[in-house]
A and B are shown apart, each in its own frame.
Chain A
Amino acid sequence: MTDLTLSSGSRRGLLFRHRRSLAGALFVLPCVLFVVVFFLTPLIMTAWMSLHNWPLLGAHRFTGLANYRELAQDRAFWSALGFTFRYALLTTPLIFLVAFALAAIVERRVVGVGLLRTAYFLPVVVGLGTASVLWVWMLNAQVGVLNAIAQALHLTAEPIAYLDSPGSALLTTSLMIVWKTAGLSMLLLLVGLQAIPTYLYEAATIDGAGPWARLFRVTLPLMRRTFALALVLSVTGSLLAFDQFYILTHGGPQSSTVTAVFWIYNTSFGSFRLGYGSAMSLVLLVILVLISVAQLYLLRDDTEL
Chain B
Amino acid sequence: MTVQLASDRPVQPTARKRPSRLPNLLYYLGAGFLALVFLFPLIWTVIASFKPAAEGNVFPPTLWPSHISAENYQTLLNFGDGLWRYVGNSAAVAGITVAGAVLLSLLAGYGFSRFQFPGKNVVFVAILATLMIPFQSILTPLFLILRAVHLGDTLLGLSLVYITFQLPFSVFMMRNAFDSVPREIEEAALIDGCSTVGLLWRVMLPLVLPGVVTVALFAFFASWNEFLAALIFMSSSDHYTLPVMLINVQSGLYGTIDWGAVQAGVTITMLPCIVLFLLLQRYYVNGLTAGAVKG
Contact = CB atoms under 8 A, between A and B. Distances in A.
B111 A27 contact: yes
Contact of A28 (B41, B123, B136, B266): B123
Contact of B288 (A116, A184, A284): A184
A45 B292 contact: no
Contacts, number: 323
**For chain B, which range describes its interface: under 10, 10 to 19, 20 to 34, or 35 or more residues?**
35 or more
Interface in A19-53: 20-28, 30-32, 34-35, 37-39, 41-43, 45-46, 49
Interface in A101-116: 102, 104-110, 112-116
A305 interface: no
Interface string B1-38: 11111011101000111111000100110111011011
Contacts of A118: 1-3, 278, 281
B56 interface: yes
Interface stretch (A67-75, A88-96, A162-170, A240-248): A240-248
Contacts of B190: 1-4
A65 interface: no
Contacts of A293: 132
A107 B9 CA distance: 10
Interface of B: 1-5, 7-9, 11, 15-20, 24, 27-28, 30-32, 34-35, 37-39, 41-42, 44-45, 56-61, 103-105, 107-108, 110-112, 114-118, 120, 123, 126-127, 130, 132-134, 136-145, 160-161, 163-164, 167, 171, 183, 186-187, 190-191, 193, 195-196, 221, 224-228, 232, 242-243, 246-247, 249-250, 259, 262-263, 265-266, 269-270, 273-274, 276-278, 281, 284-285, 288-289, 291-293, 295
27 contacts: A2-B193, A22-B117, A23-B115, A42-B145, A45-B138, A46-B138, A105-B30, A105-B31, A108-B27, A109-B16, A113-B2, A116-B32, A128-B225, A129-B227, A130-B270, A131-B41, A133-B266, A137-B45, A143-B57, A145-B61, A148-B59, A179-B37, A198-B9, A240-B136, A243-B227, A288-B132, A293-B132
